[in-house]
C-alpha cells in the first residue's frame, strides 16, 4: 500500500493511534530487550522456544538433556522427566505458567522472561499437587479442572516456591542438585 494518498496516510495515522491503546504499557521496556522477538511469536511457537531455551541452558550447565519419548513430559534432564512451561512477564508484573496438567513428569520447569531478567523454578510434582494442580483452575467453565495455572511475581514467590529457584543463579543451583530419578531434589 502506498501512503502517498492523503486519505491512506490519515488512515495509517488513525491505525497507529488505535494501536497505542492496544499496546501494553510495558512495550517500551521490551524495545531493546534480547527477548523482545519472542513476544511476537504465536503461542505454540513460544512454548517450543521455551523448551529449546531450557534445553540449551541445561546443556550449558553440563546436564544430560534428551527429548522425552512420549507426550507426558517435554525433556529428560539428568534422567528426570521434566515438563517445561514458559511465560514472558505480563503487564501486571506476573508470570503466568499455563496448561499445567497432572501428567507423567517428576518436575515442572517454569521459565519466566522479563525484558532484562530471567527467572526460573524447578518445581517437584508433589509440590505442584499440593499447591497448584486441582487448586488453580485455568478453565473454570462448567467446572472444568483439566488444566491449572501458576501466577508468580518474581521476588514475591509464596514460601512453598522459594526453594525451587527464583533468579537464574538460584535455579541453576537447584538444577545442579538434580540427581537420577527417584531421589529427592530438595533436601529439607
At 127, which CATH number?
3.40.1350.10
The CA distance from 33 to 35, in Å, is 5
Q: What percent of the chain has pLDDT over 90?
A: 64
Boundaries of domain holding 22: 1-31
More confident call, 148 vs 145? 148
In this structure, are 149 and 104 located in the same domain?
A: yes
Asked if residue 187 belongs to a domain, the reply is: no
DSSP string, 104-118: S-SEEEEEEEETTEE
Residues 78-85, mean pLDDT to the nearest whole number: 96
Distance CA 118, CA 97 (A): 14
Give the pTM.
Answer: 0.79
Phi, psi of 38 (to 5 degrees): -65, -35
| Count of other CB atoms within 10 angstroms of residue 174 | 20
Instruction: Say if 181 falls within a structural domain.
Output: no
Task: Tell whether the model's pLDDT for residue 125 goes beyond 70.
Answer: yes
Q: Give me the number of domains the chain comprises.
A: 2
Residues 57 and 2 in one domain: no
CB 73 within 8 A of CB 104: yes
CB-based burial label for 2 (10 Å; 0-12, 13-18, 19+): exposed
What pLDDT digit, counting tens, does each position of 33-68 carry? Answer: 999 999 989 988 999 999 999 999 999 999 999 999
* Pairwise CA distance, residues 18 & 9, whole Å: 14
- Residues 26 and 94 occupy one common structural domain: no
User: Could you tell me if 20 and 52 lie in one domain?
Assistant: no
How much is the pLDDT for 6? 76
**140 or 187, greater pLDDT:** 140
Amino acid at each position: 500500500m502506498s501512503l502517498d494518498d492523503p486519505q491512506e496516510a490519515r488512515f495509517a495515522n488513525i491505525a497507529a493511534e488505535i494501536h497505542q491503546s492496544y499496546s501494553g504499557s510495558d512495550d517500551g521496556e521490551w524495545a531493546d530487550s534480547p527477548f523482545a522477538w519472542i513476544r511476537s511469536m504465536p503461542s505454540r511457537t513460544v512454548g517450543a522456544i521455551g523448551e529449546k531455551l531450557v534445553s540449551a541452558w541445561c546443556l550449558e550447565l553440563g546436564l544430560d538433556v534428551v527429548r522425552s519419548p512420549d507426550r507426558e513430559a517435554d525433556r529428560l534432564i539428568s534422567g528426570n522427566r521434566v515438563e517445561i512451561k514458559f511465560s514472558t512477564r505480563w503487564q501486571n508484573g506476573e508470570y503466568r505458567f499455563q496448561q499445567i496438567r497432572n501428567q507423567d513428569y517428576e518436575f515442572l520447569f517454569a521459565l519466566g522472561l522479563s525484558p532484562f531478567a530471567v527467572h526460573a523454578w524447578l518445581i517437584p510434582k508433589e509440590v505442584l499437587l499440593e499447591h497448584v494442580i486441582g487448586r488453580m483452575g485455568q478453565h473454570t467453565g462448567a467446572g472444568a479442572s483439566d488444566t491449572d495455572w501458576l501466577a508468580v511475581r518474581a521476588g514475591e514467590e509464596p514460601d512453598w516456591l522459594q526453594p525451587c529457584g527464583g533468579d537464574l543463579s538460584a535455579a541453576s543451583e537447584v538444577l545442579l542438585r538434580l540427581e537420577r530419578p527417584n531421589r529427592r531434589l530438595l533436601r529439607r
